[in-house]
């Protein structure tokens, strides 16, 4: 495949991942704490076209920010059970105080967490740059999936869940 073809395939995969996660508000963000243990918490993804980066508003003086500064490796786990789509994004996080980006991403519901809006003391962005993503996508209905699982149990064949792919985004 040519360099142009590789670049186009990567863009196509990035677009597909963006489509999978665009309507999923909350993700489980996993960081590594000072003991080397994994810690996960729900975070609201800010709506923007996925270009390999994902954004989250936060307070700068939180434990998760300290963890990111100590070890920027991160995982984001998205789950859309209604559409049987799941995405895991491995990436590198950084903390940003980019006011223009905050203005671009700000939406009124964020005032529930940040009552002074963009003027909230300690407001920051967590920016996750995706290194790789893995997704699982089954377009089958729940009934079709149940029948497929039952068939697999009866016949001893493996169940075909749907598409599962790992994509290098670095």
Residue span of the structural domain in which 110 resides:
3-168
Residue 89 maps to which CATH number?
A: 2.30.110.10
> What's the CA gap between 167 and 104, in Å, rounded?
28
SS3 state of residue 72:
coil
pLDDT in tens, 99-156: 999 999 999 999 999 999 999 999 999 999 999 999 998 764 444 444 444 444 565 5
Q: Give the count of beta carbons closer than 10 Å to the beta carbon of residue 58.
A: 19
How many angstroms separate the Cα of 44 from the Cα of each of 1, 28, 84, 100, 117? Answer: 37, 9, 20, 19, 16
Highest averaged pLDDT of the listed ranges 66-75, 78-87, 149-158 = 66-75
Contact criterion met (CB below 8 Å) for 42 and 54: no
- Structure tokens of 143? 């009934």
pLDDT in tens, 52-64: 999 999 999 999 9
Structural domain count, the chain: 1
- Strand 53-59 relative to strand 123-137: parallel, antiparallel, unpaired? antiparallel
């Amino acid at each position: 495949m040519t360099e142009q073809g590789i670049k186009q395939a990567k863009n196509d995969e990035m677009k597909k991942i963006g489509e999978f996660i665009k309507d999923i508000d909350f993700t489980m963000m996993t960081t590594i704490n000072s003991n080397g243990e994994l810690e996960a918490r729900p975070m609201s993804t800010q709506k923007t076209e996925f270009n390999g980066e994902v954004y989250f508003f936060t307070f700068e003086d939180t434990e998760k920010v300290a963890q990111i500064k100590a070890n920027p490796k991160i995982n984001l786990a998205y789950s859309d059970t209604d559409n049987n789509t799941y995405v895991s994004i491995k990436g590198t996080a950084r903390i940003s105080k980019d006011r223009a980006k905050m203005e671009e991403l700000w939406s009124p519901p964020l005032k529930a967490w940040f009552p002074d809006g963009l003027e909230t003391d300690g407001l920051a962005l967590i920016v996750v740059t995706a290194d790789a993503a893995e997704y699982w996508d089954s377009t089958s209905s729940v009934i079709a999936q149940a029948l497929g699982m039952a068939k697999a149990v009866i016949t001893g064949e493996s169940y075909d869940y749907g598409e599962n792919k790992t994509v290098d985004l670095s």
